[in-house]
Structure 1
Amino acid sequence: MSARSGLHRSVRVQEIMGMPISIHVLSETGSLGTATAQAIEDCFAELREVDRVFSTYRGDSDIRRIALGKRDVAEAHPWVADVEAACRAAAVETGGLFSATWQGWFDPTGYVKGWAVESAARRHLAPLLIDVSAVGINAGGDMQLFTAPGADWCWSVGIADPQKAGRIIATLDVRNGAVATSGTAERGAHIIDPRTGEAARGVLSASVVDDSLARADLWATAAVVAGFEDRSWVQHAGTRTGILVADDGRVTRWLEGTGVDVVPAGVLI
């Protein structure tokens, strides 16, 4: 995340949910006040609690206990019921491109990160705009970004080329909003098509910009599942913009729900 401004940046990083999560504060002085520092710690603390509740790797998490039949959703942390309802709605909205129950039990892994980061950021970081010019959070490349009204700041988000490390294929300017990227380039074919139970193929990278990180993350995953050729979902998703990179190098971008022509491989957009 970069920007073109004379403001000073302060960054705090912690390892949570198995990934580095960084919080960036832009101010005129570059120093963090006590209230700002506490808000950052509170944001990190909330994300650690989310991990405790939703981790599929911890035997004592609510999600694992639900999967093992040792706890009902109603008995779990209230967050679980909220996420379960959101996942049911997402399955309908995406036409089955997303499902938290395709394996036969409730596993919201594909939804909860974006939801958690957005929720914590809105609760703890957005109120800081009274005193700072901008604040953003980056969780493994997925970002929720805020800029104060009237501030001379615009977040500049580079979209990585999934075929060549260190190369940027596009730069997106975002004052307020979220950017999420999903795909097979870094972790292989790990995203499952819930309609077939098989690995989704054809899309190396899907990046989506939306007001909400929960929705950006959801539609980035859905885009990978749909595949490069099927972009029928774009018009009703309601996202701001997005970029798909096919496994053969083709690139396409849409703006405010309207598809655009495919860009030849190797052309920056």
Structure 2
Amino acid sequence: MRHDDPRRLVEVEQVMGMPISVHVVLGHGAHDTDRAAPVVRPAIGRVFDHLRTVDRVFSTYRADSDVLRLARGELELVDADPMVEDVLREATAAEVATRGRFSAWWRGWFDPTGLVKGWAVEQATAAHLAPLLSEPYVTAVGVNAGGDLQLRTDPASDWRWRVGIADPADRTAVLATIDVDDGAVATSGTAERGLHVVDPATGRPATRVRSATVVADRLSHADLWATAAVVAGFDDLGWLADADTAQGMLVAPDGRIRRWTGSTEVTVVERSA
């Protein structure tokens, strides 16, 4: 996303082990942010508070998190934060929807790390940022969590978020740009974080996709299907029929590209890595 718009309020914090930025785009004539700040700044703060709470509950790096206490048998589900049961339902549905390409239980205990970030950002956006769109001076709101985006726009506005899909072989280059008004964009693969996506069926890293970018209505879904695409591999788009994605792109380790809209593949590009 662009970061040089003088009409945009942006705040960045390190939460959930990554930089997360919150963006609020102001309407025409709102270059002076004094009018917006008293309402917008507290809402942005609530987003970060929400994400810190989620991290406290689900972190696999904090010994006192609910998830690790459950894994050690020190906490019963009924006594855990209610968010745990919500994410448990999401994770169960995700495993069924992806036909096992995603599983929060592949380690032998409940670890929804691959799902909870998108879910948390989606929830925080809906609860704390979307209400700002009723303010006359707010045009659009969005959260960027380590490159994964949940975006909302005032229906009366012609604003569009322009999102670039980076080339995993050259992070300074852009393979494509997409316009989003209301929706989410997530990218998974080996380009940014190495071999971090694990195939639940084998317990080994998934290596057959270098980058998978998915656009969907909800970030939890975009993130889920980007992960599932990496596990499925570049040559398998059979999962598209089960997915609720708007569009997406896969980049193979050898540089080939596949793009789709809905459940239909629209582009295959042969290119060198």
Fold shared, TM-score > 0.5 on shorter chain: yes
3-state SS of the aligned residue for 2:238?
Answer: coil
Q: Please state how far the C-alpha of 1:165 moved relative to its aligned partner.
A: 2.2
**What residue in structure 2 maps to residue 239 of structure 1?**
245
Distance 1:260 1:151 in 2: 29
- Could you tell me which residue of structure 2 aligns to residue 96 of structure 1? 100
How far apart, in 2, do the equivalents of 1:190 and 1:127 lie?
Answer: 35
Distance 1:93 1:266 in 2: 33
Match of 2:21 in 1: 22
TM-score (norm 1): 0.95
CA deviation profile, 1:20-69 (whole Å, cap 9, x unmatched): 11011111314133122111111110000000000000011101101111
1:53 and 2:57 aligned: yes
The letter of the residue matching 2:271 is A
Q: CA RMSD in A?
A: 1.6
**1:103-142 equivalence runs, <5 A:** 103-131=107-135, 132-142=138-148
Identity %: 56
Q: Structure 2 regions of 5+ residues with no counterpart?
A: none
Query: For residue 174 of structure 2, what is the aligned residue in structure 1?
Result: 168
Normalising by structure 2, report the TM-score: 0.94
Instruction: Work out the number of aligned pairs and report it.
Output: 266
Does the Cα contact within 8 Å between 1:7 and 1:27 map onto a contact in 2?
Answer: no
Is structure 2 residue 216 aligned with structure 1 residue 210?
yes
Residue 265 of structure 2 is matched in structure 1 by 259
Distance in 2 (CA, whole Å) between partners of 1:233 and 1:248 is 22
Structure 1 CA distance for aligned equivalents of residues 272 and 181 of structure 2? 28
Say if 2:231 is the partner of 1:225: yes
- Deviation of the 1:201 alpha carbon: 1.1
Corresponding position of 2:198 = 192
- Greater shift, 6-15 or 146-155, is seen at 6-15
Secondary structure of the corresponding residue to residue 180 of structure 1: strand
TM-aligned CA deviation for residue 3 of structure 1: 9.2
Unaligned runs of 5+ in 1: none
2:45: which partner in 1? Answer: 41
Structure 1 runs of 4+ aligned residues shifted over 2 Å read none
Distance in 2 between the 1:228 and 1:240 partners?
18
Contact 2:91 2:115 in 1 (8 A): yes
